[in-house]
Chain A
């Protein structure tokens, strides 16, 4: 593998932070012979940056979906911001979701809305005033370098551009926790590094990040904790 020069200086990982999200002995199966995740426990501490690696199909996305309440565990509990997640308390769930941003691997953009509307949507459903929404959307699009595409529709964007819209939407609400599922999966190495640098900068300003990738080169660019999924189990890899 070619050596890549780090684009950002590694931050000092501190293990003192409060636990912001947690999986306790979580098992999730999709009916196959082996569960996708088996008794996985994970604690994300406030202010940390975590890489989550693992081969394709190892359950990275599943783990993230469990954390954001998109999926429910078969066994075990999920805790967010110190609170056990109960999908039946949908109001409470919505409030917890407003405190985090999720970058979906499949983007989840609305095809009949422009880029700006897609990003604004996350704020609109929270009832923010129009002026504030507009301002935040502009900032978020600038962050991901898509200001010039604000009026475009997702179908007319490249995969990488769609991905950056998804990133902008995850960030626009000013989340405390960012769950990023392959946020650089569709980007060229250079843009990937820019996005990583962006998330790293936000992390330095206090954002907690869980960053899923199978691009091990990326994990070498910045020195952060690496969690590795293998056969339904979570392992902690040493810093590279």
Chain B
């Protein structure tokens, strides 16, 4: 009988955890809600950050620099300019739009057919050659545009940088604030849950003493506590996900009616995915386990 399983059997664990949960009473609820609030905020921070990413992405597709070539540039230099532009670092895509073709297309689009005898709006082609260049990343847009502007023969450069970097910095702020908030709340939650567990341990001290005296190892004595905390944390994660899912649905429905939102984020979804739910539960469980570890470190008395 001396050398038996070092790990608690289910026969032992299930009733113990159930009993401990039952006796914890409203303290359990407090722990679950604390974890849930933290993870709810984390979940929304995550969602908003994802949404902003999607927005940046969808704008990013339209992210290009348009450079207008001076119409007075001699043809020989035009060829050189093309080569130089194409060779710039950070260029993902490069399209040269010939002014003659552009003019023809524009005229066709606008129905400004220049037929003889009709009034020509423009006597000559008013367009210049146009270069559309896509940068490899958002960070490269501004420097690339600067470089292009300095090339000989470039008349002007246009790009959509400001709105995008604005959006990106919003995303960064959202991420940062979420992270800070979640860190702070996690610390609070760990402190709270471990205080609750300490209380449970103190209440159970006589029982723990008896368990020790009849030959239970610490692993056996404290595994139910770890499981209890893990299930409270997991429960908090689940609760956060359920509330998040419902609120996400509601918000999604409301936003669907807001045209500005559709324009900004396209078909980005606010729905809390099952993956996010799983993630929240895992974080909840981890918070619970960390809290137990902390509670034990500060409570378990060494034998006198």
Q: Measured between alpha carbons, how far is A129 from B11 in the docked complex, in Å?
A: 8
Which A residues touch B9, using CB under 8 A? 127
Q: How far is the CB of A88 from chain B (nearest CB, A)?
A: 8
Interface residues of B in 175-222 (CB under 8 A from A): 206-207, 209-218, 220-221
Tell me whether B213 and A97 are in contact (CB under 8 A). Answer: yes
Tell me whether B215 and A97 are in contact (CB under 8 A). Answer: yes
Q: Which partner residue on chain B sits nearest A121 by CB separation? A: B214
- Select the residue from B8, B23, B217, B221 with max chain A CB neighbours within 10 A: B217
Q: Digit string of A150-174 for contact with B (CB within 8 Å is 1, else 0)?
A: 0000000000000000000100011
Which A residues touch B216, using CB under 8 A? 94, 125-126
Q: Which partner residue on chain A sits nearest B5 by CB separation? A: A127
Q: A2 at the A/B interface (Cβ < 8 Å)?
A: no
Known contacts A90-B218, A127-B8; A173/B211 CB under 8 A: no
Binds B, one of A35-43, A64-72, A188-196, A213-221: A64-72
Instruction: Please count the residue pairs between chain A and chain B whose beta carbons lie under 8 angstroms apart in the complex.
Output: 77
Interface residues of B in 1-60 (CB under 8 A from A): 1-6, 8-9, 11-12, 19, 23
Q: A112 at the A/B interface (Cβ < 8 Å)?
A: yes
Which one of A69, A72, A126, A174 lies within 8 Å of B4 (CB-CB)? A126
Q: Measured between alpha carbons, how far is A226 from B154 in the docked complex, in Å?
A: 113
Tell me whether B11 and A126 are in contact (CB under 8 A). Answer: no
Interface residues of A in 70-99 (CB under 8 A from B): 70-72, 87-88, 90-91, 94-95, 97-99
Which B residues touch A112, using CB under 8 A? 19, 23
Q: How far is the CB of A170 from chain B (nearest CB, A)?
A: 9
Which A residues touch B126, using CB under 8 A? none
Interface residues of A in 178-230 (CB under 8 A from B): none
Which A residues touch B304, using CB under 8 A? 71-72
Q: How far is the CB of B11 from chain A (nearest CB, A)?
A: 5
Q: How far is the CB of A78 from chain B (nearest CB, A)?
A: 12
Tell me whether B2 and A98 are in contact (CB under 8 A). Answer: yes
Q: How far is the CB of A46 from chain B (nearest CB, A)?
A: 16
Interface residues of A in 113-155 (CB under 8 A from B): 121-122, 124-130
Q: B303 at the A/B interface (Cβ < 8 Å)?
A: yes
Tell me whether A87 and B303 are in contact (CB under 8 A). Answer: yes
Q: How far is the CB of B250 from chain A (nearest CB, A)?
A: 44
Tell me whether A125 and B213 are in contact (CB under 8 A). Answer: no
Which one of B2, B19, B207 lies within 8 Å of A99 (CB-CB)? B2
Tell me whether B8 and A169 are in contact (CB under 8 A). Answer: no
Q: Digit string of B210-246 for contact with A (CB within 8 Å is 1, else 0)?
A: 1111111110110000000000000000000000000
Tell me whether A95 and B3 are in contact (CB under 8 A). Answer: yes
Known contacts A70-B213, A110-B210; A125/B1 CB under 8 A: no
Q: Measured between alpha carbons, how far is A108 from B11 in the docked complex, in Å?
A: 22
Which A residues touch B6, using CB under 8 A? 91
Q: Which partner residue on chain B sits nearest A133 by CB separation? A: B11
Which one of B11, B206, B214 lies within 8 Å of A97 (CB-CB)? B214
Which one of B4, B19, B221 lies within 8 Å of A127 (CB-CB)? B4
Q: How far is the CB of A125 from chain B (nearest CB, A)?
A: 4
Q: Which partner residue on chain A sits nearest B9 by CB separation? A: A127
Q: Digit string of B275-301 for contact with A (CB within 8 Å is 1, else 0)?
A: 000000000000000000000000000
Give me the interface of B with A, judged by CB distance under 8 Å.
Answer: 1-6, 8-9, 11-12, 19, 23, 206-207, 209-218, 220-221, 302-304
Give me the interface of A with B, judged by CB distance under 8 Å.
Answer: 68-72, 87-88, 90-91, 94-95, 97-99, 102, 104, 108, 110, 112, 121-122, 124-130, 169, 173-174
Complex A-B: 13 CB contacts under 8 Å: A70-B213, A71-B303, A88-B302, A95-B3, A95-B215, A102-B213, A102-B214, A110-B210, A125-B211, A125-B220, A126-B216, A127-B4, A127-B9
Nearest 5 interchain pairs by C-beta? A125-B216, A98-B215, A97-B215, A122-B214, A87-B303
